[in-house]
Amino acid sequence: MKIITIEEHFLNSTISSAIHDETEKLAPGHSDAFKADFGHTSMRPEQLTDIGAGRLADMDENNIDMQVLSYNSPATELILDSSLALKLAVQANDQLSSAVKANPTRFGGFATLPLSDPKASVAELKRCVNELGFKGVMANGTAHGRFMDEPDFEQFWKTVAELDVPVYIPPTIVNKQVRDIYYHNPDPAFAARFASAGIGWHIEAGVHVMRLIFAGVFDRYPNVQVIMGHWGELIPFYMERINTYFPATATPLKHDFEYYMRNNVYVTPSGLFNLPQLQNTISMMGADRIMYSADYPYYSLKGAREFLENAPISQEDKEKIAHGNAEKLLKII
What residues act catalytically? 295
Identify the helix (H) or strand (E) that includes residue 201: helix 200-214
37 touches 74 (CB < 8 A): no
**What one-character DSSP code corresponds to residue 216?**
T
Contact 321, 268 (CB under 8 A): no
* Amino acid in the structure at residue 173: I
Q: Tell me if 325 sits within 8 A of 291, measured CB to CB.
A: yes
Using DSSP's 3-state secondary structure scheme, residue 234 falls into coil
Partners of 292 in the beta sheet?
A: 5
Sheet holding 136-138, edge to edge: 4-10, 66-71, 107-111, 136-138, 167-168, 226-228, 265-267
What is the C-alpha to C-alpha distance for residues 110 and 200, in angstroms, rounded to an integer? 24
Inter-residue contact 226 to 264 (CB < 8 Å):
yes
Distance CA 327, CA 32 (A): 38
Residue among 97, 106, 151 nearest 124 (CA): 97
User: What is the H or E stretch that residue 244 is in?
Assistant: helix 235-245
Alpha carbon separation from 250 to 154, 201, 235 (Å, rounded): 24, 28, 19
